[in-house]
Amino acid sequence: METATFGAGCFWGVESVFEQVDGVTATKVGYTGGFTQAPSYEDVCSHRTGHAEAVEVTYDPARVSYDTLLDIFWMNHDPTQLNRQGPDIGDNYRSVVFYHSPEQEAAAIASKKRLEESGRYKRPIVTEIVPATTFWDAEQYHQKYFSRRGIAATCNIPA
């Protein structure tokens, strides 16, 4: 099994999308990319921790590739919005790929470049590609939030 970590706005919808992917064996939501140890949701929402809401995805690379996970990441949020997604505003909602290996870094950079060159977006892609750091699990009530309530994935696919 391998791990991929993505931030793309509110982690509830992002997790909901990834947990439906064949080959993804586990997902969890949490906070990463900041400097505060063991942050709470309230800490992260204060915009004083540097953390992003993120989803840690455990996947079987024999069943789903990292490139496919990147494609899903790009398709399910607007990577041109700086520190926001839709109505959610703040650095904790930033678009970011947290890579776990040099191979993931190279794949993420190449994927972003292909998307930039595709002409799909008129505005620049602002997604960060940074090394993965400590992933702090979000509170239990955030885990599998949509699936526990029978709510379908609600991330918007930008035009």
- Residues marked as catalytic: 10
CA distance 78 to 59: 24
Work out the burial of residue 71: count CB atoms within 10 Å of its CB; fewer than 13 is exposed, 13-18 middle, 19 or more buried.
middle
* Secondary structure E strands in 33-141: 52-59, 84-85, 88-89, 95-99, 128-131, 136-137
Q: Which amino acid is at 70?
A: L
